[in-house]
Structure 1
Amino acid sequence: MTHYDVLVIGGGTSGMMAAISAAEHGATVGLIEKNKFVGRKLLVTGNGRCNVTNNRDKEEIIRHIPGNGRFLYSAFYQYDNYDIMNFFRSRGIALKEEDHGRMFPTTDKSRTIVNALKQIIDDLNIDLFVDAPVETVLYDEEKVTGVRLIDGREFSATSVILSTGGRAMPKTGSTGDGYKWAKKAGHTIKELYPTEVPITSQESFIEERVLQGLSLRDINLSVLNKKKKSVVTHRMDMIFTHLGISGPAVLRCSMFVLQTMKRDKTDAATMTIDSLPDMTEGELKQKMAQFKKNDGDKSIKNVLKQFGPERYILFGLERQSIDSDKAFKTLTPKEVEAIITFLKDFRFDVHGSLPIEKAFVTGGGVHTKEVNPKSLESKKKKNLYFTGEILDYNGYTGGYNITGAFITGRVAGMHAAESALALK
């Protein structure tokens, strides 16, 4: 039976980095992937352009990992996003920065990143097994001992790293296999839920597709709890869909929608759109008074079209039963108030999200209290390590999850190698 110092299950972002890290720290390494090739999910990230990390400081990045990001502090102090950038640049891959600190390869192709990682795996003589689904992970009373594949092959290992991902995007191979092997080792799995996922709504304007396909740019989108207090606000773009809402602001709010519904024990949460975040209600009121004076004879819809897409404005007027073709000066104070409320605080109910399979990221996973945050080693079984999305942490899209994956992979690989070599 072949023996490895370190065996990594899962050839995704964190698994490839874990294997590379372990090999660079002197271990003999095997990397097992059930797909026909490694980096399947990495190829589709950033719309196929691969948002490798984010150019912000540690604190800022951890703030963008709202699901348990604090667990990653000690990993970040051993390896961080700047180290990720240096890792690729030192291998001849030029990176560029885009909006919100997102870092991409200058080629705009995720294949550039996947090919680089594959090349390094090759150069380090890591044994790569593809098309090799794992049947189970083998343990004795106190430690991990190896892995058995579905085809019957067995490998023994001093350290095993579970880098199997979550349950989001199952087409890429993330089907939640690792959770059962973590459970077998005695770990608690925190309830899985979709994050970075489109939100669904049963509001009649959604079901009737009144706004389907309409985008709103640079708006404030908030989630309110049952006391109508804001839980979170994100300023980005969004789009109305045939099932609800989607787009960057919505994906970022999604986790909070599901958590709020759970906490408030309700089957709906309220969201609100402020389509003019740079203007106060008072300023808007003054503007309306000016329009009445200077543009009073123009139609209401013509005056208001500067405040957003025409479809959105007409929808708002119709909701208030205001005739958009009437002269602006005919508006009553009450109608002006209603228009301002719509532009600054349009509230509607949402009822959940698309399923976890349609999400970009999995929330929940291996309970972080049962994992050593410094080494990412299991507290339940010696020499078992966890990286990436199998762990109960989750970040926003924009290079944050991938940063967590690279960092946990790097750190787990290093510690898995060191502990295996110490036992030789």
Structure 2
Amino acid sequence: MENRYDLIVVGSGAAGIISAIVSARDGKKVLVLEKLSQIASKLKATGGGRCNLTNTLSNEDFMRKFGRDGRFMQDALKEFDHKALVDFFKEIGVETHAPDGFRIFPTSHSSVTIIKALQDEMDRVDIEVRCNEKVDEILYENSQVRGVKTLNNTFLTKSVILATGGLGYPTLGAEGDGYDMACGLGHKVTELHPAMMPLKTKEDWVKNCRADTIAKVELRVDMKKHKKLRAIGDLIFTKNGIRGPVVLDFAREVTPLLEKYGEVPLLLNLTKGMNEEQILSHIKTQNSKNPHANILEIVTTLLPHAISSELCKLANVNPHAKYKEIEGSNRAKLIQLLVWTPLTITGHDGFKMAMITRGGINLKEINPKTMQSKLINGLYFCGEIMNLDGPCGGYNLQWSFSSGHLAGKLLR
């Protein structure tokens, strides 16, 4: 049998699989090459295995969440937005819902449901899938794709979709080989940083505050050049740092600074945006209601007990003292800490704990209307391999499906 195909997809994540399905539904002969022993390994782990597929935002709001490069997604989202994705999965037998009105999951809340449905659809449209087949090189001649080469085989095609993902979760196959292949064809890859991950702090008091999730925490970078960097969301203290949705989202801003400066000072508002005047007023009101309460009891009306205790220590305040017994400078220090609690980020666990990668193939070298390379005819990109990443909440998976869907239409 001749190893010639209409399309070869390198990588079997969300982007690669849907691009293969779209093309095969048009009757094209499609081959998917996966270096691991099974497909969709990273998709299986998405959202802790619950698989947050997408969200209910409008396309305009969705693009805004990706920052200044978000407009690059316009054509892909116009073709295949969250409504189209929900319809696609319903068509292949997967029901979805948005229990919180925003994040969309399969009703099973299991990525296994998603992967099985995608596998069944690939079987139905006769897509050939070869696992344990790592692509070493994309073959081209006169700026035109000719095929791909693996360790043991050469497969011929005029169209290749590179959907190898980023560097996050190397245990699930991320090695950066897609970046190397793209660079070998003349593409530029931006600096790559781990993103969507927990962060480590210099301060060790955080280990005493692990029991609670703090809602609506505002994070700010406390550096003159980067004061505009901020985010709001739920935060969790860990034995050596911080995590939670707001930290996962903000990590993409912090990791490049960490590499540049060695450590990154942050300020945290743990009191749902209250300022000094509001906090002082709250403390005085609580004190008048219960004159016998100590300062720790008063502060715990704002924050959980463990955090309240640690902030009292940081302010050199005796937690058992009454408010009026505390020295003025220490009162002021405590109020200041309740408004902005300082933390210093000193590290992270690298790409092994990163859910996504910040950086990738330069978007200026990709046609947003087709996902085709501007340098090599017949070469297409989709998903995380490109320099585009968003926050938690189904953004990155939707982008993988949307870009994969658009790339898969290349032969129509």
What's the TM-score once normalised by structure 1's chain length? 0.92
Residue pair 1:216, 1:309 contacting (<8 A) in 2 also: no
Residue pair 2:160, 2:380 contacting (<8 A) in 1 also: yes
Identity %: 29
Confirm or deny that 1:271 pairs with 2:266. yes
Structure 1 411/193 Cα, relative in aligned 2: closer, same or farther at 3 Å? Answer: same
Give the C-alpha shift of residue 61 in structure 1. 1.4
Aligned pair partner of 2:357 in 357, 362, 365: 362
Residue pair 1:362, 1:389 contacting (<8 A) in 2 also: yes
Confirm or deny that 1:239 pairs with 2:240. no
Give the C-alpha shift of residue 228 in structure 1. 7.7
SS in 1 for 2:223: coil
Distance 1:159 1:384 in 2: 6
Distance 2:301 2:71 in 1: 43
SS in 1 for 2:129: strand
Distance 1:410 1:350 in 2: 39
Confirm or deny that 1:349 pairs with 2:360. no
Residue pair 1:222, 1:231 contacting (<8 A) in 2 also: no
Match of 2:173 in 1: 173
Q: Deviations over 1:191-235 (max 9, x none)?
A: 1111111112223535xx444x24342132323252286433333
Structure 1: 5+ residue stretches without partners: 419-424
Match of 1:318 in 2: 313
Give the C-alpha shift of residue 236 in structure 1. 2.0
Give the C-alpha shift of residue 369 in structure 1. 0.7
Residue pair 2:10, 2:33 contacting (<8 A) in 1 also: yes
Residue pair 1:254, 1:353 contacting (<8 A) in 2 also: no
SS in 1 for 2:373: coil
Residue pair 2:202, 2:343 contacting (<8 A) in 1 also: no
RMSD (CA atoms): 1.9
SS in 1 for 2:286: helix
Residue pair 2:170, 2:351 contacting (<8 A) in 1 also: no
Distance 1:67 1:16 in 2: 28
**2:406 counterpart letter in structure 1:** V
Q: Deviations over 1:61-115 (max 9, x none)?
A: 1122247323212221222121111101122321110337111111111111111
Residue pair 2:217, 2:235 contacting (<8 A) in 1 also: no
Distance 2:323 2:371 in 1: 64
Distance 1:102 1:131 in 2: 34
SS in 2 for 1:108: coil
Confirm or deny that 1:401 pairs with 2:396. yes
Structure 1 89/398 Cα, relative in aligned 2: closer, same or farther at 3 Å? Answer: same
Residue pair 2:216, 2:234 contacting (<8 A) in 1 also: yes
Distance 1:34 1:284 in 2: 56
SS in 1 for 2:218: strand
Structure 2: 5+ residue stretches without partners: none
**1:389 counterpart letter in structure 2:** E
**1:157 counterpart letter in structure 2:** T
Confirm or deny that 1:295 pairs with 2:296. no
SS in 2 for 1:3: coil
Residue pair 1:147, 1:155 contacting (<8 A) in 2 also: yes
**1:185 counterpart letter in structure 2:** L
What's the TM-score once normalised by structure 2's chain length? 0.94
State the aligned residue count: 411
Confirm or deny that 1:338 pairs with 2:333. yes
Q: Deviations over 1:384-418 (max 9, x none)?
A: 00010111111112101000100010000102x23
Residue pair 1:295, 1:328 contacting (<8 A) in 2 also: no
Structure 1 291/336 Cα, relative in aligned 2: closer, same or farther at 3 Å? Answer: farther
Structure 1 115/46 Cα, relative in aligned 2: closer, same or farther at 3 Å? Answer: same
**2:272 counterpart letter in structure 1:** P
Match of 2:73 in 1: 72
Q: Deviations over 1:303-329 (max 9, x none)?
A: 221211111001000111111111233
| Correspondences of 1:131-210 after superposition (within 5 Å) | 131-150=132-151, 152-205=152-205, 209-210=207-208
Q: Deviations over 1:149-168 (max 9, x none)?
A: 21x21110120000011110
| Correspondences of 1:21-36 after superposition (within 5 Å) | 21-36=22-37
Distance 1:229 1:41 in 2: 33
